[in-house]
Amino acid sequence: MAGCLDYARHDDMQILAPAKINLSLKILGRRSDGFHELDTLIAPISLYDEIRIDKGRHGIQFRCDDPSVPQGDDNLAVRAAKAFFETTKIEPAISIELKKKIPHGAGLGGGSSDAASVLLALNELSETKLSRKVLAEMAEPIGSDVPFFLFQSAALCKGHGEMISPVKLNGLFSILLLKPAFAVSTAWAYSRWQNSREIPGIRYEAQEFPEQAFVNDLERPVFEKFVFLAQLKMWLLSQPEVGAALMSGSGSTMFAVMQADADSVAKRAKGALDPELWTCACETL
């Protein structure tokens, strides 16, 4: 879960920052502040970025094993650390080392989870004992999904993502993630939502499986431009092992809720659709 903390010594910490999927994502309209009014059910999943934080000499040092990840103030983990030190008035002196396992630009919330996990870790490491409410106030300006990851639970999120009600899912879902080589910009997807149209023959309506409605209003604008994702969804729904299939967030990851072995479906997808597909079998937490 976000902020799975492992104390190595009193001056360093290892953190597992989980990815997420949107089991449902409904857009209720555009707000006057430019954000969109959301009603989304989000679940953390067992795919993790690995973060190590060490107390350093001065400032905030950041390094990552993935060169495509933004650096400096463009990185959400760095922004989270800055927000923490500005709020607490503690002199920053840490290094953050990030090992990326969650793909970038995938709709899986990796950057947001990294940011939330850094806030939780610094709160422990600095012994500041800040409440979750205070941490959430720091998290909200960093990104819409960051407050969600502070709760370490599946949650119903409203507003532009900041109104969070933790929920217990009806059991664990076995999930197969599939992502093509391209990424989708979240800001772009939301900007196209209002004027987008459905592609004939593609299934957009809610899928009921089991006792859960799977639906994503961002599929409409994203599928219009990235037709491969629409084809991938329909291919997944045609597989006997798949109970439901949906895009997570703004994409480009599609996920399948599995009734049987995920590995055989992953292998078939690569053979039938794209040998370069990134795939990962995991489950909701």
Q: Which residue numbers are catalytic?
A: 20, 145
Handedness of CA 169, 183, 207, 266 (dihedral sign): negative
CA 175, 5, 154, 194 torsion-angle sign = negative
Backbone angles phi, psi at 175, to 5 degrees: -125, 140
Specify whether the CB–CB gap between 62 and 75 falls below 8 A. yes
Contact between residue 274 and residue 228 where contact means Cβ atoms under 8 Å apart? yes
Q: Do 215 and 24 touch, CB atoms closer than 8 A?
A: yes
| CA-based nearest residue to 244, from 220, 210, 217 | 210
| DSSP for 15-77, written as a single string | EEEEEEEEEEEEEEEE-TTS-EEEEEEEEEEEEEEEEEEEE-SSEEEEEES-TTS--GGGSHH
DSSP classification of residue 239: S
In whole angstroms, give the CA distance from residue 228 to residue 223: 8
Q: CB neighbours of 29 closer than 8 A, spacing ≥ 6? A: 36, 37
